[in-house]
Amino acid sequence: MSTGIGDAVKRKEDKRFTTGKGKYTDDVRNDNQAYAAFVRSPHAHARVTGIDASAALAMDGVIDVLNGAQLTGDGIGNIICGWAVTSKDGSPMNMGAWSALATEKVRYVGDAVAVVIAETQALARIAAEAVEVSYEQLSVAASIAAAMEADAPEIHENAPGNLIYDWEIGDEAATDAGLAGAAHVTTLDVINNRLSPNPMEPRSAVATYDDSEEQYTLYTTSQNPHVARLVLSAFYNVAPEHKLRVIAPDVGGGFGAKIYIYPEEITCLWASMKTNRSVKWTSDRSEAFLTDAHGRDHVTTAKMGFDSSGKIVGFKVDTLANLGAYMSLFSSSVPTYLYAPLLSGQYNIDNIHCNVRAYYSNTVPVDAYRGAGRPEATYLVERMMETAAREMGMDPAELRRRNFIQSFPHATPVLMEYDAGDFPTILKMAQSSADVAGFPARRAEAAARGKLRGIGYSTFIEACGIAPSKAVGSLGCGIGLWESAEVRVNPVGSIEILTGSHSHGQGHETTFAQIVSDRFGLPIENVSIVHGDTDKVQFGMGTYGSRSGPVGMTAVVKAMDKVEAKVKKIAAHALEASEDDIVIEGGEVKVTGTDKSMAWHEVGLAAYIAHNLPEGMEPGLKETAFFDPVNFSFPSGAFICEVEVDPDTGHTEIVQFTSADDFGTIINPMVVEGQVHGGVAQGIGQAMLEHVIYDEAGQLLTGSYMDYTMPRAADLPFYDVSHHSTPSPNNPLGIKGCGEAGAIGAPPAVINAITDAIGSNDLEMPATPQAVWRAIQANSSPLAAE
Amino acid sequence: MTKITLKVNGKTVSGDAPDETLLSVFLRENLRLTGTHVGCDTSQCGACVVHVDGKSVKSCSTLAVSLEGAEVTTIEGLANGGLHPMQVAFNDNHGLQCGFCTPGMIMTGVDMVNRYKTEGTELTSEAIRAELEGNICRCTGYHNIVKSIEDAAAKM
């Protein structure tokens, strides 16, 4: 079976997962293992006036109880946000101090105040309950609206009015002028509901300090272990980088929540040094809901103007973003640079202006969750298009088509230069797969059964492959976003690929091996992928933003280019031929047009034996490359959702979900379709089921799977997935990235379908049966009765 | 502490554990069978499903001490040496991504297929979705998990 680019190769990594042999962080247990349990604030906003750990310390098996004063006293630094966003008046963002263990104040329910280290996990938890913390409660702002009140409590002293930044992009005067001259203006208020990412593996850390070497080892559930090591070293002063090894072994899903460096990892490392024990902490699900960074939580008002032909003449957006109690690692970039530059969607719009104000609140920090900013932009743009089409009496697909960008590259008025795409074709594909022509008959048939049937579109674009280092640096990002790879050809010809990308479900052990198998014609079994260990891979930026394909794989290609060049030199010398005549095919290194050849492994052996290398050539066959992308990549797609609503109960069933995507070059269609399935499921979850709710006192009401509705098998349909590829010109493989498309495109398709079914646009996510039923009841439109 | 003796994956094993020890903890910590995962604390996610005397059980909500003498099968013991058709089907149909929910999905899938076969009832895709009520996956959107179980059912 062929195992090259484009082949649906079955995953190499599956055997260990299907037989229970996967090695996740919580599976690690060291000889001197101790366990951490955190003492967490039950209040959303309070002054800490005292910590009495005497009862806990008196318990048999409790090793120590440590607090924030000790942590900061030992020089452990504050947690920082790594992307500096500047307000429109030129002032820097107002970043408040965040200590891994709170010192003077707690700012959300779950904020860690102290940590108990004990001989067993159960004992640590019991002892944590026995630590008595005295609090002086302060008034609470647990939502954007509350944080904006004139008499709102001050959450951080350096953020007056709880405002973190007031940022804008685009030309406001030109946009206002466009709207003033519009034949029709659609106004829309939307809320992008707050979500919890919920990877199935809870976060975990096992930190071990070796005092003989002054060396730390951290096993952790990370999407980017090198970034974790850099930040732990450079900002939190835990240990110098060369004395800190970070290993992210098998990681059970990430979806953004495992990008950030959290208080628990910092505390476990420090506690390991303090107690001279290996310290392990594993979150339970309730703790995950309280402390994993949440996603979304925007409130937006927008206006879009059209001329008499339906052409967009202006788009003005005003967004409020809730960033929670502290600024998490990339939190500032999500509602700004990962959001507003996508407001042009698939459309040719001359004038866009977006204003974003970000606020603190007494809730857990908010940061990137699958899609990160792009789902929020897409939800707004695609609900706007559907709503405008209904208001103007136009076919929503036709309105989109009239505004589609048709030529590439295309520069938008909001920073981006789109690389390649074919929006009319993917829309047509989706319409054909979804049998849009047959929809009126299906609607009539459903009506005969007393059901309301609706159809909704989402034609979306995303920016992936994050990102050109210089470009993001100019926008305030504190790191470069290149990727590294090392290709090691062993003397027997087998190949190890060391990559800075990390796989936590994406299947890199298979797909990265495919590009090597394809390039050199080697069996995929002869290629192994090494990742997730800072002692093995020198540096890398990790996996998020659908970047492992367009950026991570490209680094491998660049390193393979160098390997190929050396292989050709070695073979040309050994075969007494010109380097230009050497070709590599099917595991053979041949002189073209002759019968002279060497087997791949013979070249590998020659490189290491070094008896007969060209004059001056170094022995060995190992090459490294760092790839810094020249642009984002821009995957696009057309989703069509069809629903049936029971008007008596509001219960909504997705009866058909169609996806047509342009991911550029596809390495493994099976894996790519799996990414679409999972992304769409999370998008449907946002649209219909999921919602993080805090009450006014800042208590989390959705703190378990009994309260927060995760999509289950019976909630979801089979998905119809098809592809039409326009390769990205910005990387040699032409990859655009596929990890986030589903979560970005699905929510508006679902809501557009439900609002079509019930004949009312007054519906927010999640469209629970209760919400849909209420919308039906509130709606006096005759459409509802059709 | 109570001495607990079970037959796990065909072998008689025993260990001392406090009475409140959950089966999931006994398997993971006492026996170091870490293929059984814990993904929640409310008996909702099903990552911890094992078979007790041939029936699927959530090991996170079962006291180990209550199972004295029972036969327990975990993901590690599902197949003797080779692979169970359900394990093969998950690989063939790309029924897993991060792998964390997978042991529970496979153990639930095997139990489901066995029950329907015993009852002589057809295991439709709708029935599979309904039977997966107690198992949560965040990666796959369930599409390929349902396909995997359908495929395995035809081969078991």
Chain B CB contacts of A673 under 8 Å are 94
Residue at which a domain ends, from A611, A627, A643:
A627
Q: Is A741 on the interface with B (CB under 8 A)?
A: no
C-alpha–C-alpha distance, residues A434 and A57, integer Å: 64
- A622 pLDDT more than 50: yes
Q: Is A768 part of a structural domain of the chain?
A: yes
Residue A784 pLDDT level (bands cut at 50, 70, 90): very low
pLDDT > 90: percent of chain A: 98
Give A786's pLDDT tier (boundaries 50, 70, 90). Answer: very low
Q: What is the CATH number of the domain that holds A347?
A: 3.30.365.10
Q: Is A649 found in the same domain as A604?
A: no
Contact B142 A716 (CB under 8 A): yes
CA distance A140 to B90: 48
Computed from CA positions of residues A403, A404, A406, A412, in that sequence, does the dihedral angle turn out positive or negative?
Answer: positive
Is the model's pLDDT at A121 over the cut of 80? yes
pLDDT of residue A785: 43
| Whether residue A718 has pLDDT greater than 90 | yes
* A contact test, residue of B142, B144, B149, B151 with most A CBs within 10 A: B142
Does any domain span residue A174? Answer: no
A527 and A599 together in one domain:
yes
- The whole-angstrom distance between B91's CA and the closest CA on chain A is 6
Query: A716: domain range?
Result: 298-466+631-785
Establish if A176 belongs to a structural domain. no
Q: What is the pLDDT of residues B63-88, one digit of tens each?
A: 999 999 999 999 999 998 899 999 99
Q: Do A14 and B96 touch (CB under 8 A)?
A: yes
Contacts across the A-B interface (CB distance below 8 Å): 180
- Set of chain A residues whose Cβ sits within 8 Å of the Cβ of B96: 14, 17-18
- Residue window 109-168, chain A: list those with CB within 8 Å of chain B: 122
**CA angle (A419, A555, A737) in 5-degree steps:** 40
Residue from the list A16, A678, A712 with its beta carbon closest to the beta carbon of B136: A712
**Co-location of A365 and A399 in the same domain:** yes
- Give the per-residue pLDDT at A664: 97
Do residue A677 and residue B37 have CB atoms under 8 angstroms apart?
Answer: no
> Three-state SS for B85?
helix
Is residue A148 situated within a structural domain?
no
What is the mean pLDDT of the segment spanning B7-34?
96
Taken in order of first residue, the domains within chain B and their CATH numbers are 2-77 (3.10.20.30), 85-155 (1.10.150.120)
Cβ–Cβ under 8 Å, residues A669 and A8: yes
Q: Nearest-CA residue of chain B relative to A196? A: B138
pLDDT score, position B81: 82
Task: Establish if A128 belongs to a structural domain.
Answer: yes
Residue A514 in this model has a pLDDT that exceeds 50: yes
- What residue type is assigned to position A70 of the chain? Q
Average pLDDT score over chain A: 97
Q: Are A642 and A656 in contact (CB under 8 A)?
A: yes
Region A185-212: what's the mean pLDDT? 98
CB contact under 8 A, A713 and B145: yes
Task: Tell me the pLDDT band of A780, cut-offs 50, 70 and 90.
Answer: low
Round to whole Å and give the CA distance between A13 and B13.
Answer: 30
Closest chain A CA to residue B105: A18
Q: How many CB atoms are closer than 10 A to CB A276?
A: 14
Residue range A564-578, pLDDT digits in tens: 999 999 999 999 999
Distance from CA of B35 to the nearest CA of A (A): 4
A 493-552 near B (Cβ less than 8 A): 504-507
Same-domain pairing of A236 and A381: no
> Which residues of A fall within a CB distance of 8 Å from B103?
18, 20
Among the partner-chain residues B36, B41, B144, the one whose CB lies closest to the CB of A674 is: B144
For chain A, the domain total comes to 3
My answer on whether A642 and A616 are in the same domain is no
Q: Is residue A41 part of a domain?
A: yes
| Percent share of chain A, pLDDT over 70 | 99
> Are A316 and A432 found together in one domain?
yes
Q: What is the pLDDT of residues A496-513, one digit of tens each?
A: 999 999 999 999 999 999
Query: What tens digit of pLDDT does each residue of A325-372 get?
Result: 999 999 999 999 999 999 999 999 999 999 999 999 999 999 999 999
Average pLDDT over residues A250-270: 97
Q: How far is A21 from chain B (nearest CA, A)?
A: 6
Residue A436 and residue A488 share a domain: no
CB contact under 8 A, A201 and B136: no
CATH number assigned to the domain comprising residue A268: 3.90.1170.50
| Chain A residues within an 8 Å CB radius of B91 | 10-11, 14-15, 18
Interval A47-97: pLDDT, tens = 999 999 999 999 999 999 999 999 999 999 999 999 999 999 999 999 999
**A160 found inside a domain:** no
pTM greater than 0.80? yes
- Residue A297's alpha-carbon distances to A613, A684, A728, in angstroms, are 61, 17, 32
Partnered with residue A625 across adjacent β-strands are: A485
Q: Which of the listed residues A612, A627, A642 is the one where a domain comes to its end?
A: A627
B140: nearest CB among A198, A201, A677: A677
Nearest Cβ partner for B44 among A11, A23, A705: A705
- Let me know whether A672 and A765 are in one domain: yes
Q: Do A487 and A424 belong together in one domain?
A: no
Same domain membership, residue A575 and residue A594? yes
A674-715 pLDDT tens trace: 999 999 999 999 999 999 999 999 999 999 999 999 999 999
Q: Which of A14, A26, A200 sits opposite B101 (nearest CB)?
A: A200
The answer to whether A285 contacts chain B (CB < 8 Å) is yes
Q: Please indicate, yes or no, whether residues A451 and A436 belong to a single structural domain of this protein.
A: yes
pLDDT tens digits along A634-683: 999 999 999 999 999 999 999 999 999 999 999 999 999 999 999 999 99
CB A412 within 8 A of CB A170: no
Average pLDDT over residues A262-285: 98
- Report pLDDT digits (tens) over A218-240: 999 999 999 999 999 999 999 99
Does A670 sit within 8 Å of B91, measured CB to CB? Answer: no
Q: Which phi and psi (to 5°) does residue A305 adopt?
A: -105, 145
User: Is the minimum CB–CB distance between A704 and chain B shorter than 8 Å?
Assistant: yes
Evaluate whether residue A8 is within a structural domain.
no
Q: Least CA distance to B87: which residue of chain A?
A: A18
> Which burial class, exposed, middle or buried, applies to A593 when counting CB atoms under 10 A from its CB (0-12, 13-18, 19+)?
exposed
**Statement to judge: residues A569 and A434 lie in one domain:** no
- Asked if A713's CB is within 8 angstroms of B146's CB, the reply is yes
Which residues of chain B make contact with A13, given a CB cutoff of 8 A? 99
Q: Residue A782 above 80 pLDDT?
A: no
Name the amino acid, one letter, at A323: L
Which residue among A627, A642, A659 closes a domain?
A627
